[in-house]
Amino acid sequence: MNSNGVVEWAVVESDIGPLLLAATDSGLVSVVFHARPAVRDRALAQLRTRLGAELVESPGSARLAEPIRQFAAYFAGTLRDFSLDLDWSLTSGFNRQVLRELSAGVPYGAVAGYGDLAERVGQPGAAQAVGAAMGSNPLPVVVPCHRVVERDGGLGGFGGGLETKRQLLALEGVLPRPLF
């Protein structure tokens, strides 16, 4: 539970479809891909349960202004590094450790393997657990799980779907952009 009481949220359009952004007093707490009504409603119900907070749709909120601005700049290609306050309360333990290492250590335009990240957090051999941590990432794009790929060059899985992962990696210049 968090004592923030209120979580403010908004759905914003992006190059990869509608994104739900949610923030507490502490910072951005959740980013949800493909936030059309059914997905949005399910995500909001989960946030309400997990955070024990009231959720308020507030697209003009001061809390969301900077996340919305930075996402727009990222998709416009003018922002490479998000500098947002993050609320890590939806993740803990090994997953949080891996996500913080990913956030700090895998910059725009770079990729890392699942095994690489496992080694970086002192758990060599935990590549599958790293995959699970990526799958549970409450802050995709900002905490760039799209930059984690398979050792053999495969894209690996992605909560937002492989097409979304491809689009993000193309935006960052890791993959060629599709011709059409």
Token pair of 105 as six digits: 């250590």
DSSP per-residue letters across 74-142: HHHT--SS----B--TT--HHHHHHHHHHHHHS-TT--EEHHHHHHHTT-TT-HHHHHHHHHT-SSTTT
Active site residue 145: yes
Q: How far does Cα 83 stand from its chain's mean position?
A: 13
* Residue 150 identity (one-letter amino acid): E
The single-letter DSSP state of residue 113 is E
Q: Which residue of the set 145, 149, 169, 171 is catalytic?
A: 145
- Rounded to the nearest 10°, the torsion over CA 108, 97, 63, 171 is 20
Active site members: 145
